[in-house]
Amino acid sequence: MTYENQSVFDRDPMPALQQIRQALECTAVFLSQAGPGPHVVAAEVGLDRLGAQPIRHLAADSLPAMVRDMNYPMVIDNVHAHPAVADRALCYRQGICGYLGVPVMRTGTGHCCGTLSAVTGRPRHWSIQDTGLLLAWAERIAGVSGSSRRRTGG
Which fold, 11-143?
Beta-Lactamase (3.30.450)
pLDDT the model gives residue 6: 42
Amino acid at 116: L
Q: Compute the C-alpha angle 109/40/67, nearest 5°.
A: 60
| R_g of the chain, CA atoms, integer Å | 15
Q: How far is CA 2 from the centre of its chain?
A: 29
Q: Where are the domains of the chain?
A: 11-143
Q: How many residues does the chain have?
A: 154
- Segment holding 123, helix H or strand E: none
Contact 2, 136 (CB under 8 A): no
Q: What is the mean pLDDT of each successive set of 10 residues along the chain, which is 154 residues long?
A: 41 86 94 76 83 73 86 93 76 86 85 90 96 93 50 37
Q: Which pTM was predicted? A: 0.80
